[in-house]
Amino acid sequence: MNNFAQLQIDLRQMIIAIETAVSLVGMNDTNHGKRVGYIAGQLGHQLGFSEQDIQFSFDLGLLHDCGVSTEQMHANLVNHFDWKDAYVHCNIGYKLLRDFEPLSAFATPILHHHTPWEELQGLEVSRQDALMANLIFLSDRIDVMAASHYETDILLARQEIASSITNYAGAYFDPSLVSAFQQIEKSEAFWIALENRHITRYTWDMGNFKTSSPLSISQLKQLALIMAYIVDQKSPFTAQHSIRVADLARHLASLLGLPDEQCEKIEIAGLLHDLGKLHTPDKILEKPGPLNDIERTIINQHSYETYEILRHIEGLDEIARWAAFHHECLNGVGYPFHPNEKDLSIEARILAVADIFQALVQDRPYRAGMPLSKVLGILDEFTRNEKLDKEIVTITREHGDACFEIAKGHTITNNQSNLLLFSMDDDISSRQRATPETNT
């Protein structure tokens, strides 16, 4: 039964999914955004914010680092209190959200969430945006100072953290925010709640408070495009991979005669299929040679990470499975779930072909992109070995030239056009991968 028209996706749950994906970049610390959201909400409560502003503060905390895609960027942000290139991820986050109406109100606070308070007051920014931006800056720095103490000695370290924050009042932080922090930090419960087992429960509970209006299909697609951009910036060798897989998957679905609504859902799954790669170490994605056994097992986990990010979003269960099954094979030799052939839907099979096709034509650190003839030969071999669906590969071969142009990004699609909204200059984008500075 086609339930496309009844698809109702909650914005809050998608915000949590964005945070879950982006926080994977932290590798061994995957709850930073959740903690920043919690701290911001607690400060807002202490300051007498309205319930609406408290909710906004929490969501802003979840979203504040949506411009971070690489380990190196993350390392610089957590190792330096005032890193000179912190503005890079602020600019990226701003550009990602400014034209997406459901989240556009978060764009300006994200742009300035590393701007010191004394500098912020001289900018043409509304009082509300300035307050929210500084609220997140404060919450973010509190968490960075506290991160190494969770689960061990946080109740002993809190006094030193509070003292450090107080010293920055007026220069980096609004004194009224610092005063509110001085009040709430006295509670042991405030600090204990930030530990992993508690903050994940808190975020789960917050996810049950649904927003008043669900996302439309066009909005869901636009948000998926934003998430695709974030993951594709993980490495220059994966740039636009998700977008081109989505374009190719939709094209193949249309050639196979699937209804327009189903084609659009497949496209969304294509945009989201590699979210889990945000948890893959940069050095593995950019290794200029074959992966060893350990590296292969690490990268093979990304499909499951994608599933974990998406499966908690009510109404997105089908898309979550299609996205997570993009490395599964008909003969059961894929990963990570090994479903039976009957459990591999046509949508998942289309994504598998689109993903392999695009990966083969794209330049990778260990090889140049392949010509069409070689790609089709590999797809035929995978068909003979019962890895890929024969009908889908046949359609791909029959329309090989068009598929090649889409996979290479030579055909301008709506996704390609919308990508221009997020475009960054090469210098700023390259700073995502800048070598971490010496700690001072």
Tell me the catalytic residues.
Answer: 277
SS3 9: strand
Considering only CA atoms, which of 8, 9, 30 is closest in space to residue 19? Answer: 30
> Residue 46 corresponds to which amino acid?
Q
205 CB-near residues (< 8 Å, 6+ apart) = none
Q: Which residues pair with 173 in a beta bridge?
A: 169
Instruction: Retrieve residue 216's tokens.
Output: 């439309």
Rama region for 191: left / alpha / beta (φ>0; ψ in -120 to 50; rest): alpha
Residue corresponding to tokens 């509110």: 180
Considering only CA atoms, which of 16, 9, 70, 2 is closest in space to residue 435? Answer: 70
Contact 156/188 with Cβ under 8 angstroms?
no
DSSP state for residue 437 in the 8-state scheme: P
Largest Cα–Cα distance of the chain, in whole Å? 69
Rama region for 335: left / alpha / beta (φ>0; ψ in -120 to 50; rest): beta
**What are the Cα distances from residue 414, in Å, to 7, 131, 255, 369?**
22, 36, 18, 24
Instruction: Retrieve residue 349's tokens.
Output: 């099979």
Q: How far apart are CA 324 and CA 335, in angstroms?
A: 9
